[in-house]
Structure formats: structure tokens, C-alpha cells
């Protein structure tokens, strides 16, 4: 009887700890580095001309003129461009 009670208490404690832990926060999610300029669609070697994090992507620009052009786009346009680049880079890695 005591073993059963201790076993159920241990299981209950583990479940309570798991429930309190909750889902991972956004800071735990990985940032995907993209090595293609979102404006010229050219591969960027090295650090390029700077980078910025947009959502879950680290965007690298080929030259200083591309960043202002990218910043002028709407959030929806940026998301579409970055998703397309991420998909293309992922398919190149698989090949």
C-alpha cells in the first residue's frame, strides 16, 4: 500500500513539474541564417554588408544599399521573400 502511494505521488509530482514547465519560449527557437541577399537574390560570402534578424531568420545583405530597400517592404513581403530563400537554401543543402 505504501509503495503504491509513493509511486502515485512520484508520478503526480512529475506530471505537475511538466505542466508548470510549459511550452518553450520564443527565445528558445533557433534563428536560421540565410546566405542569400533578399534584394539581389545573390549568394553572400562572409559577413557581407551587415545583417539583421527578421522573425526566425538572420538576413545577410550583399551591399549597404540592399538593407534600406528590404526595410521598405511590408512585413508580408519580407516573410514571403525570406521563406522562399530559406526553402531554396534548404533544397541546395539536401543535394
The whole-number pLDDT of residue 86 equals 94
Residue bearing cell 509511486: 7
| Contact predicate 33/58, CB 8 Å | yes
Which tens digits make up the pLDDT trace of 44-83?
Answer: 988 778 899 999 999 999 999 999 999 999 999 999 999 9
How sure is the predictor about 87, in pLDDT bands with cuts at 50, 70 and 90? very high
How sure is the predictor about 17, in pLDDT bands with cuts at 50, 70 and 90? low
Beta strands at 32-34 and 51-54: parallel, antiparallel or unpaired: unpaired
When divided into structural domains, the chain yields a total of 1
**Residue 83 in domain:** yes
**Residue 58 in domain:** yes
**Residue 76 in domain:** yes
Q: Quote the mean pLDDT of the chain.
A: 82
**Residue 1 in domain:** no
**Residue 78 in domain:** yes
**Residue 16 in domain:** no
Rounded Cα distance between 35 and 41, Å, is: 10
**Residue 42 in domain:** yes
- Residue numbers of the domain that contains 73: 25-94
At 59, give phi and psi (nearest 5°): -95, 130
**Residue 13 in domain:** no
Amino acid at each position: 500500500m505504501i509503495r503504491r502511494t509513493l509511486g502515485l505521488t512520484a508520478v503526480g509530482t512529475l506530471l505537475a513539474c511538466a505542466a508548470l514547465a510549459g511550452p518553450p519560449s520564443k527565445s528558445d527557437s533557433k534563428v536560421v541564417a540565410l546566405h542569400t541577399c533578399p534584394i539581389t537574390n545573390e549568394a553572400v560570402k562572409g559577413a557581407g554588408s551587415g545583417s539583421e534578424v527578421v522573425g526566425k531568420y538572420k538576413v545577410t545583405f550583399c551591399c549597404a544599399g540592399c538593407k534600406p530597400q528590404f526595410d521598405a517592404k511590408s512585413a508580408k513581403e519580407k516573410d514571403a521573400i525570406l521563406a522562399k530563400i530559406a526553402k531554396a537554401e534548404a533544397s541546395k543543402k539536401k543535394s
